[in-house]
């Protein structure tokens, strides 16, 4: 059953003012006197890079002095070298939400990692996505699948029972990579057919899904495609999507990269290289192979400045190239963030809202900053929140703005 206690989520690309909006909203809820039971708010971070300690520039954390006394949870609490994936985050976020509700606070979950937010809102959605299954303590497995596992050769069975924490490199250790693929081919040939044996991340993830759910990933995929597992939300959820027109946003993102460099980005990247190498500050990163798909090393800027920081002599040309690469990566990431919201999150929302308005979702137009942003984002968001908490009638999301109508009109059936 859906929990009727409220949850507010704020998603969108980098550079639209998500954190600022969440703080303004939390301040309003802390100050206002309403007839309902909710007093105050806390912010729960849903940015997969901001969970890491330090590295405040490369991860774009809100400076402490700008948080205006609002508590920010699940931020800066993991070591940069640690692996922390969506399943772990969902469990941690649920504890924080429960704690907020016990204190009569409204939890506001905010961040650019929309698939984390989606998996928090909808318990059964992303079962097969990489790094996206919340582990089940005691999965019930069919006798047939259990028998297939038992019939693996002793070395493969031992490997399946003790899967590596990180995917092996197909280039550095092809034998380990191929053994994982052989296990998957035996247990789920359909899904093994989808991945190349060198794609160790997806192969390992598929094997983890079997262990965590007691089911074949291909069966879960089929169910999701057929809509059997279209899930109801965990909480009564109000979802905000802050969105800016691409041409305006891209200019803003370019300027943000320049500002990050001025603030000391390169010092942070050097520190990250030292953590990655486990070496002292005099060493260079040139001979270290970093896994850019792991933990904080996925942060945009780290990979892009590798060549510049590895060069024996600092060259302006190599530096300028690194800056351009970082700007390009930032723009591409923003594009992917929008694609995820439109192609994954919105179909899940529309599916949940088929019979009743369970997850009201609103696009707030963050194209223009300043006073216009205050009107279009802050004030409108506060009004919608008040209506949501009072359980009043909320407006049709498509009527909020031309931008909302254009971006939120999608094929509601395409939940894949």
pLDDT at 367: 94
351 φ/ψ angles, rounded to the nearest 5 degrees: -65, -45
Mean of the pLDDT values across residues 323-327?
92
Q: Which CATH class is domain 3-133+235-246+337-408?
A: alpha beta
Burial class (CB in 10 A: 0-12, 13-18, 19+), 122: buried
Does 96 have pLDDT greater than 80?
yes
pTM flag (> 0.85): no
Residue 137 in this model has a pLDDT that exceeds 50 = no
* Distance from C-alpha of 325 to C-alpha of 209, rounded to nearest angstrom: 35
pLDDT-derived band at 100 (thresholds 50, 70, 90) equals very high
Residue 276 has pLDDT above 90, yes or no: no
Cα–Cα distance measured from residue 300 to residue 189, given in angstroms and rounded to the nearest whole number: 35
Mean pLDDT, the chain, as a whole number? 85
pLDDT computed for residue 3 by the predictor: 72
Residue 355 is predicted with a pLDDT of 80
- What confidence tens digit (pLDDT) does each residue in 201-243 have? 999 999 988 887 788 888 877 766 555 445 789 999 999 999 9
Mean pLDDT for 322-343 is 91
Q: In the prediction, which pLDDT does 2 show?
A: 65
Domain 249-330: give its CATH code.
1.10.287.890
What pLDDT is stored for residue 309 in this prediction? 77
Separation of alpha carbons 280 and 341, rounded Å: 42
- Are 238 and 215 a contacting pair, CB within 8 Å? no
Q: Is 129 exposed, middle or buried (0-12, 13-18, 19+ CB in 10 A)?
A: middle
Predicted pLDDT of residue 1: 56
Instruction: Please tell me if the domain spanning 3-133+235-246+337-408 has the same topology as the one spanning 249-330.
Output: no
Please list, in sequence order, all residues whose beta carbon lies within 8 angstroms of the beta carbon of residue 9, skipping any fewer than 6 positions away: 46, 108, 109, 110, 117, 120, 121, 237, 238, 239, 240
pLDDT for 342-352, tens place per residue?
988 999 899 88
pLDDT of residue 134: 39
Q: What SS3 state is found at 144?
A: helix
- pLDDT confidence tier of residue 140, bands split at 50, 70 and 90: low
CB atoms < 10 A from the CB of 236, how many? 17
Express as a percent the part of the chain with pLDDT over 90: 53
- pLDDT value, residue 338: 93
DSSP 266-326: HHHHHHHHHHHHT--TT--GGG----TTSGGGGSTTTTTTHHHHHSSS--HHHHHHHHHHH
Contact 191, 206 (CB under 8 A): yes
**How many other C-beta atoms lie within 10 A of the C-beta of residue 13?**
26
With cut-offs at 50, 70 and 90, classify the pLDDT of residue 133.
Answer: very low
CB burial of 200-231 (b: ≥16 within 10 Å; e: otherwise) equals bbbbbbbbbbbbbbebbbbbbbebbeeeebbe
Q: Where are the domains of the chain?
A: 3-133+235-246+337-408, 143-214, 249-330
Alpha-carbon span 15 to 217, nearest angstrom: 36
At 358-412, the pLDDT tens digits run: 899 999 999 999 999 999 999 999 999 999 999 989 999 999 999 999 999 876 4
Whether the pLDDT of residue 304 is over 90: the answer is no
Distance of CA 217 to the CA centre of its chain: 21
Segments in 110-216 forming alpha helices (H): 114-121, 143-150, 154-161, 174-187, 189-192, 200-213
Q: Partners of 42 in the beta sheet?
A: 107
Q: Indicate if the pLDDT at residue 298 is higher than 80.
A: no
């Amino acid at each position: 059953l859906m929990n009727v206690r409220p949850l507010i989520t704020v998603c969108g690309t980098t550079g639209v003012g998500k954190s600022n909006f969440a703080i303004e909203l939390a301040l309003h809820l802390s100050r206002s006197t309403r007839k309902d039971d909710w007093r105050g708010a806390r912010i729960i971070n849903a940015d997969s890079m901001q969970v890491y300690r330090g590295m405040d520039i490369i991860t774009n954390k809100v400076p402490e002095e700008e948080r205006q006394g609002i508590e920010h949870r699940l931020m800066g609490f993991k070591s940069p070298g640690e692996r922390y994936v969506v399943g772990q985050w969902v469990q941690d976020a649920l504890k924080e939400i429960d704690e907020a509700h016990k204190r009569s606070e409204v939890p506001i979950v905010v961040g650019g990692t929309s698939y984390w937010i989606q998996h928090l809102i909808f318990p059964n959605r992303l079962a097969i996505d990489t790094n996206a299954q919340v582990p089940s303590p005691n999965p019930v497995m069919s006798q047939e699948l259990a028998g297939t596992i038992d019939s693996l050769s002793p070395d493969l069975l031992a490997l399946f029972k003790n899967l590596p924490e990180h995917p092996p490199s197909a280039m550095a250790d092809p034998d380990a990579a191929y053994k994982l693929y052989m296990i998957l081919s035996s247990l789920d040939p359909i899904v093994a057919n989808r991945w190349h044996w060198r794609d160790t991340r997806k192969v390992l993830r598929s094997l983890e899904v079997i262990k965590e759910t007691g089911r074949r990933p291909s069966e879960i995929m089929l169910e999701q495609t057929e809509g059997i597992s279209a899930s109801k939300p965990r909480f009564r959820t109000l979802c905000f999507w802050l969105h800016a027109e691409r041409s305006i946003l891209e200019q803003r993102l370019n300027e943000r990269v320049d500002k990050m460099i001025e603030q000391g980005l390169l010092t942070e990247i050097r520190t990250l290289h030292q953590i990655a190498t486990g070496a002292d500050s005099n060493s260079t990163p040139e001979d270290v192979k970093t896994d850019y798909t792991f933990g904080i090393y996925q942060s945009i800027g780290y990979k892009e400045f590798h060549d510049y920081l590895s060069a024996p002599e600092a060259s302006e040309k190599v530096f300028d190239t690194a800056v351009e690469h970082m700007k390009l990566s930032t723009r591409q990431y923003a594009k992917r963030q929008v694609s995820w919201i439109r192609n994954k999150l919105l179909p899940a929302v529309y599916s949940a809202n088929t019979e009743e308005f369970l997850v009201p979702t609103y696009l707030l137009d963050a194209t223009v900053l300043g006073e216009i942003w205050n009107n279009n984002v802050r004030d409108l968001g506060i009004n919608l929140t008040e209506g949501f908490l009072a359980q009043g009638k909320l407006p049709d999301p498509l009527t909020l703005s031309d931008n909302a109508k254009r971006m939120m009109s999608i094929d509601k059936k395409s939940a894949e």
